[in-house]
Amino acid sequence: MQERMLGKSGLGVSALGLGCMGMSFGYGPPADRKEMISLIRAAVDRGVTFFDTAEVYGPFTNEELVGEALAPVRDRVVIATKFGFKLDAEGKQAGLDSRPVHIKQVAEASLKRLKIEAIDLFYQHRVDLEVPIEDVAGTVKELIQAGKVRHFGLSEAGVKTIRRAHGVQPVAAVQSEYSLWTRGPEVEVLPTLQELGIGFVPYSPLGRGFLTGKIDASTQFAGTDFRNQLPRFTPEARRANQALVELLSAIGTPKNATPAQIALAWLLAQKPWIVPIPGTTKLSRLDENLSAARIVLGADELQKLEDAAARIGLEGARYPEKLEQMTGR
């Protein structure tokens, strides 16, 4: 597995990371803990050095899982986690909270759950309009100076916020949804990151599973699966958006590559400082995803993909309106 640098931060990670959220949260019942520990360690054995989690995944259980799985190889990996949500007594999300005192509390709790002495990359999970971003960045700067955090990140932030934060504490990476069916970051975010020397970490690079080709209009999700709430995952939207999967398949077939592999290879080809973090709970899918790092799309193939994708009208918003309002701020 090749290494990539997240911008000018000096933080080097594997070209593909592993998003761990779905092992505990978001896509139905949590997967078997022992199996997920084995899967995470299998990723390390295959050269993955970048692992993504957050306190709200579970909540808390995903950090505990990642911490246990990576404890034996701590010196070989980079662990990213996040702060910024308020949780009620039952552990459910109850709004945002990026007050300095809360950031510090989350950092201490995450360190314990992850069984580490320093958080490698600490993202603000969503921008909190009630707290100036300068205060947020300043608090993370204090944590860095105290040796409890190594790098600062932002998730789903807008360019004005990125610039203001970067002026207080250099931002190592911005994480946002980005794939062939979610291309919003191309307009303002990616040019800004290139200018400032900030890395980019696309989450849901396979469209929450849709771009794998394993989901169609008839697919039934578990009752607790987050995708049931997403406009882009209504049966009608899935049926309409199938054209994008067919395009990926058409590009992949001559290369003996799956739609998922082409989707990831396309992302890797966009910028050398982009590091996607596809998630999975299956070893076979892990191997499939990691093999995408060896696929080279030529200029003609990339242009063909761009031209064909531009002719496909995608249906459905990626989030319900309430959640969409928390992005790009």
Q: Which residues are catalytic?
A: 57
Structure tokens, 2: 């090749």
Q: C-alpha angle with apex 284: 279 to 285, nearest 5 degrees?
A: 30
CB atoms within 10 A of CB 136: 26
C-alpha 205/C-alpha 259 separation (Å) is 12
Q: Which residue has the tokens 């999700």?
A: 221
C-alpha 125/C-alpha 62 separation (Å) is 15
CA distances from 29 to 23, 160, 243 (A): 9, 38, 30
Structure tokens, 260: 């998922």
Residues 6 or more apart in contact with residue 195 via CB below 8 angstroms: none
Q: Chain-centre distance of CA 319, in angstroms?
A: 15
Choose among 274, 279, 241, 275: nearest CA to 260: 279
Choose among 23, 26, 58, 47: nearest CA to 37: 23
DSSP string, 227-242: GGG-GGGSHHHHHHHH
DSSP string, 43-107: HHHTT--EEE--TTTTTTHHHHHHHHHHGGGGGG-EEEEEE-EEE-TTS-EEEE---HHHHHHHH
The angle, 0 to 180 degrees and rounded to 10, between the axes of the packed helices 159-168 and 189-196 is 20
Identify whether the C-beta of residue 128 lies closer than 8 Å to the C-beta of residue 84.
Answer: yes
Q: For residue 161, give the DSSP letter.
A: H
